[in-house]
Structure 1
Amino acid sequence: MGFLSKLWRLGKPDFKPSHDKFEYTKWNKDQLIKRIIDLEGERKRKADEEGVDNDIPAIKRRKSSKGELRKRKKKDKPFDYSKYNTRFVALKFAYLGWNYNGLAIQKEPTPLPTVEGTILQAMNACKLVPSMTPQEFNFSRCGRTDKGVSAMNQVISLRVRSNLTNEQQLEKSFDSKEINYVHILNQILPDDIRVSAVCLRPPKGFDARFSCQNRHYRYLFSSFGLDIEKMKEAASLYEGEHDFRNFCKLDGSKQITNYRRTIERSSILKLDDGMLCFDLVGSAFLWHQVRCMMANLFLVGQGLENVSLISDMLNVQKVTKKPIYDMASDVPLVLYDCSFSGLEWSANDLSDFKSLQSNRRVFSLALDYKMKSAIANIFADILSVDQTDLGGRTRINLGDGKGKVVTTYEKMLQRKVMDSVETVNKKFKRRKTPKSEV
C-alpha cells in the first residue's frame, strides 16, 4: 500500500485507488512507478505555469522564477562607481520646451520637470552619473532657456561612466567598444527630448558654456497684421555691439553691471511653412533678451511705434531706465544652434535599427502635433474666429495669438519706468546683507 499512499498524496483529492478509471490494486510494480513519474511531471508542469519554484519551501513560495529572484537580488545591490573609469564628454540634444519648466535643473521643486533634471535622472538610472548633483561630475550647459522655450542643438558637458581604460579613451579605434551614450539615453528619455550626438574627446579645458562661440535663436511668428518691411528695418538696428539693459529682465541676484552684448546677425526670414522668424545670432544673451527684442519688433510691425524706437531704446543715455512693457511669448522661441570649435560629433548611423527606433518616435510625435494643428485650424474656421474687430481697442501682439488688449495704447517712451540697474543691484545687496553689518 506504500505506492497507493504515494499516489493518493500526488493525485487530486477525487482520485481514489478504488476509482473505476485507475484500479491501482490490479497494477504491477512497473505500472505504479510509471504512474508516479507521470504525476510528478504533471505537478512540476503546473508549478512552472503558476510561477512556483519547487526548490523553495511552500511557506516561502512566491510567483517568481529563479532568474527573477537573482535579478531582484542583483538590483538591491548598490552600484559601485569606483570600479569603473569615467570620461569627460559633450552631448548635443534637442527638446520641445512647452512641457518643461525651463532647461536648468532647480534646487527647489518646480510645477513642471526641467529638461536637465529629466536628462540627469535618465543618466542616473542607467548608471552614467552617480547622483543628481551636477557639481559632482563637472557639469556645464551652453545656453540656459526659459520655461516654454525649445532648443534644437543644445549642448552640455560632463563626466560620465566609461567602458574603456584611460588609455583606450584616447584612441579612436576603441570608440566602437564604448558605451553607446546616444542610444542608451534615447531609450529612457521621453520622446520630446532626444540626444543627437556625442563628442568623446572635447578639447582640453572645454566648457559647454564658456567655450561656445555664438548662439543662434529663432522666434517664429505669423505675418497677420504686421508690416514685415518695417520689422526688417528695425531688426537690422540690433546688429553690432550695444547696451541691452532696456531689452532684458534685470536680475539683482547676478549683480550684472555690463549689459553690452554683440549681435552678429539680426533679420526677419520667411520659413517654408508660411511662418516667419526673427533670426538672431550673438555671442551671448541676457535674461529674456530675445523675447524683449521681439516684443519691440511687434510694436513696430503693428505701426504702434516707429522704427526709431529700437535706436532710442539702445541709447541708454537717452532712455536711462527700462520702460514697463510685456515680453513676447515663450513658446515660439527656439535656441536653434550653438557654435563651437574643435568638437568632433559622433551620431548613430541613421540606417541602424537603434536610430530607426528613435526616429520613429520623433516622427510619431511630430505627426501627432501636425494633426492637432490641422484640427485646431478647422476648429477656428468653423467658429469664424475674427481678430480684427476689437470695438476700438488695441491688441498688442505678443506672439501667442491672444496678445494684450488695451483701451488706449501708450507710447513706449511715455510710459512709467522700472528701477535703474544700479538701484536693482543695491536693493538686492541690502536684502542679503545681515542686519549686523548694516
Structure 2
Amino acid sequence: MNFIFSIFKSGNKSTASSSNLERGKYAQWTKEQLIKRISELESSSAADSTPPKRRKVVSETQVYQGQPPKKAKRVRQFDFSQHSTRFVALRFAYLGWNYNGLAIQNEPTPLPTIEGKILEALHISRLVPSMNPREYQFSRCGRTDKGVSAMNQVISLRVRSNLTPEEQLDPANDRREIKYVHILNQLLPDDIRVSAVCLRPPEGFDARFSCESRHYKYLFSNDGLDISRMQEGATLFLGEHDFRNFCKLDGSKQITNYKRSVISAKILHIRDDLYCLDLVGSAFLWHQVRCMMAHLFLIGQGLEEPSLINDMFDIVKTPQKPIYDMASDIPLLLYDCKFPEMEWLESNLDDYSSIKYGKAVSALALNYQLRAAVVDIFKTVLPTSEANLFSKTRINVGDGKGRVVTNYQKMMDRDVMAPVEVVNKKYSEKKKQRKKKKALEQSV
C-alpha cells in the first residue's frame, strides 16, 4: 500500500511540474503566437469530430404495436393509353354551406369547391388522367354560388372504362363496367353524394347546353310576411323578361342579352311556418333567384307594391339597377334539372355499399337535427325582448337577421349602379390593358 501511495504521489508531482513548464512556456509567447496556437487546436478538434448518426423517427403507434418504421411508398404511374374511355353523365347532390360554390376556381378560395372535391375523387380513383377538366370534355349543368345547395345537379365527362367501345354499346355488358357511383361515394365527403350514372347519354349530349329547364326552391319563414302579396308579385315573373335589374352584372361575361324565360313561379307551403318560392325557368343569370327573392321579401313586408316587379322589368323606366341587398344564399337550392329522356343507373339500394352510404347521410341529417334542437333550447333559455324597433325597419333578406335601417328608401328612389354597357366596356378596357402589359413584360 505504501509502495502504491508513493508512486501516486510521485506521479502527481510529475504532472504538476509538466503543467508548470507549459505555463512557463506560454507565458513567454506573444499575443500573435497564442492566437495562432488556439486556431491550430480548434482546427484539429473540428477535424476529429464526426457528425452524429441520424436516428430513425418512429411513431408512438409503431412502438406500442411493435411495428417497423414504414418505408416511403413508390407511386406507380398509371398509363391511361392502355385503357378505353367512355362519355358519361353523373347525377349528384350536395349541401353547399361548407363550400365556396360549385365551380372550381383559378385562384385559391377560403373553402373548397364541390367541383374540386369531385375532380379530386375522379383523379385519385384513376377515372380521369388529371385535375384539368378540359382534358376530358367536362361540362356542368348549372353553376351554384357559395352556400347554395343542389339536389339533382349533373355533369358530363369522359372517364376510364373496363369495356371496349364496341362492348359499351350493349347494355348487357353494363354489369362488367366500373362501379362509378360506388367508387366516387367512397372518396367524397358525406355532404356530396353521387346518385346515378348514365352510361349512354343522347348523341351530342352536354350537361350545360342539353338542359331543358332548371328548377329552384328558396326556403323562408313567413314571420312578418304577407304570403298573398308575395304570390301576387311572383306571378309577375312569368314569361320572358329582361332581368338585368335582377342579377349581378358581370363584365367578364360580356353579356348583352338579359332576357330569360320563367316557366313557373309559385309560393308554396312546406310545413308549419316554412314556405318556399318554387321557380322553374329555362336558364338563369348570376344571382338572379336571390335578387328576385329580395324583391318578394320587400313586397311581403309591405315596404313595396307588387307592381315594383314590372317597374324593374321596364328598362326605359329603370335603365340602371338600383342598389339593394340580395337574399341570403343558404336557403337556396337547385332542386332539379330537366333533360331529354335518359337512362339513369342508380346503385342497388339493397347492397352493403348503398346501405353504408345511406346510413352516412342519415347520420348527417341527424347531426343537423340535433344541432337545431340544441339551438332551440339555447334560444329559450336566453332573455328576449318583444319590443319593436320603434322608428327603425328591419329588411328581411332570408337569414333571420336582416338589415336594420332608420328610414326605408323606396326602390325607385335609390342610387343606381353603372349601366350594363359601361360595366362591359370598363372590363373590356381593363382586359386589353392587362394583355398589353403582359406583352411588354415578355418582350423585355
Q: Which residue of 2 aligns with 1:103?
A: 102
Unaligned runs of 5+ in 2: 1-64, 438-444
Q: What amino acid does structure 1 have at the position aligned with 2:282?
A: S
Displacement of 1:388 after TM fit? 5.6
Q: TM-score, normalised by structure 1?
A: 0.83
Q: Which residue of 2 aligns with 1:367?
A: 366
* 2:330 corresponds to 1:328: no
Displacement of 1:273 after TM fit? 5.5
Q: What amino acid does structure 1 have at the position aligned with 2:389?
A: L
Q: Which residue of 2 aligns with 1:157?
A: 156
Q: TM-score, normalised by structure 2?
A: 0.81
Q: Which residue of 1 aligns with 2:32?
A: none
Q: After superposition, give the CA deviation of every residue in 1:109-133 in whole Å (9 maximum; x if it has no partner).
A: 1000000000000111111111110
Q: Which residue of 1 aligns with 2:344?
A: 345
Question: Equivalent pairs: percent with the same residue?
Answer: 62
Task: Decide whether aligned partners of structure 1 residues 259 and 245 sit closer, same or farther in structure 2, where only a CA change above 3 A counts.
Answer: same
In 2, Cα distance between equivalents of 1:295 and 1:63: 60
Q: After superposition, give the CA deviation of every residue in 1:151-201 in whole Å (9 maximum; x if it has no partner).
A: 000000001111111111111001011111111111110000000000000
Q: CA RMSD in A?
A: 1.7
Q: Is the 8 A contact 1:202 1:342 kept in 2?
A: no
Q: Is the 8 A contact 2:223 2:273 kept in 1?
A: no
Q: Which residue of 1 aligns with 2:252?
A: 253
Task: Decide whether aligned partners of structure 1 residues 81 and 267 sit closer, same or farther in structure 2, where only a CA change above 3 A counts.
Answer: same
In 1, Cα distance between equivalents of 2:387 and 2:397: 16
Q: Which residue of 1 aligns with 2:142?
A: 143
In 1, Cα distance between equivalents of 2:293 and 2:253: 24
In 2, Cα distance between equivalents of 1:387 and 1:220: 25
Q: Which residue of 1 aligns with 2:431?
A: 432
Displacement of 1:63 after TM fit? 4.8
Q: Which residue of 2 aligns with 1:279?
A: 278
Q: What amino acid does structure 1 have at the position aligned with 2:127?
A: L
Displacement of 1:350 after TM fit? 1.2
In 1, Cα distance between equivalents of 2:346 and 2:435: 57
Displacement of 1:274 after TM fit? 3.9
In 2, Cα distance between equivalents of 1:353 and 1:435: 55
In 2, Cα distance between equivalents of 1:173 and 1:316: 57
Task: Decide whether aligned partners of structure 1 residues 324 and 95 sit closer, same or farther in structure 2, where only a CA change above 3 A counts.
Answer: same
Q: Which residue of 2 aligns with 1:421?
A: 420
Output aligned runs, 1:282-301, within 5 Å. 282-301=281-300
Q: What amino acid does structure 2 have at the position aligned with 1:148?
A: G
Displacement of 1:351 after TM fit? 1.5
Task: Decide whether aligned partners of structure 1 residues 178 and 386 sit closer, same or farther in structure 2, where only a CA change above 3 A counts.
Answer: farther
In 2, Cα distance between equivalents of 1:385 and 1:324: 33
Q: After superposition, give the CA deviation of every residue in 1:184-243 in whole Å (9 maximum; x if it has no partner).
A: 111110000000000000011100000000000000000000000000000010000000
Aligned length: 373
Q: Which residue of 1 aligns with 2:57?
A: none
Output aligned runs, 1:30-429, within 5 Å. 50-51=66-67, 62-63=68-69, 76-272=75-271, 274-386=273-385, 389-429=388-428
Displacement of 1:84 after TM fit? 0.8
Q: After superposition, give the CA deviation of every residue in 1:14-37 in whole Å (9 maximum; x if it has no partner).
A: xxxxxxxxxxxxxxxxxxxxxxxx
In 1, Cα distance between equivalents of 2:183 and 2:347: 11
Q: Which residue of 2 aligns with 1:45?
A: none
Q: Which residue of 2 aligns with 1:46?
A: none
Q: What amino acid does structure 2 have at the position aligned with 1:109?
A: P
Greater Cα radius of gyration, structure 1 or 2:
2
In 2, Cα distance between equivalents of 1:295 and 1:238: 13
Q: What amino acid does structure 2 have at the position aligned with 1:428?
A: Y
Say which is worse superposed, 380-389 or 163-172, in terms of deviation.
Answer: 380-389
Displacement of 1:272 after TM fit? 3.2
Q: What amino acid does structure 1 have at the position aligned with 2:315?
A: V
Displacement of 1:50 after TM fit? 4.4
Displacement of 1:381 after TM fit? 2.0
In 2, Cα distance between equivalents of 1:92 and 1:421: 35
2:231 match: secondary structure: helix
Q: What amino acid does structure 2 have at the position aligned with 1:329?
A: S
2:398 match: secondary structure: coil
In 1, Cα distance between equivalents of 2:69 and 2:433: 62
